[in-house]
Amino acid sequence: MSTAHDLTIVSLEVPSDYPVERGDLSLALAGAELIDLMEAGTVELDGDLLRPVSRAASGDRLLDEAASLLGGDPAESVTDWLW
């Protein structure tokens, strides 16, 4: 199970007095996906830029699709990729 799946399950199970805004949840899920991409070794950080490292399939269709969205040069900033 990916970090984004785990985060979604946790957010649905924990009652809160503070509603989560749609943009906040989207950003958290995108950040979780980025963590998974980095752990899978498909991207790395070069300062605040994301660079693809490997196009090897991870076995997770959604994670592989996200990795394919990262281009080569010019590199994309983390902020641009998350939004």
pLDDT in tens, 7-17: 777 677 667 77
The structure tokens listed for 10 are 């946790």
pLDDT in tens, 34-61: 888 888 888 888 888 888 777 667 777 7
| Domain boundaries along the sequence of the chain | 3-82
Model pTM?
0.64
Q: Are 51 and 75 in contact (CB under 8 A)?
A: yes
- Cα–Cα nearest to 82, from 53, 45, 39, 40: 45
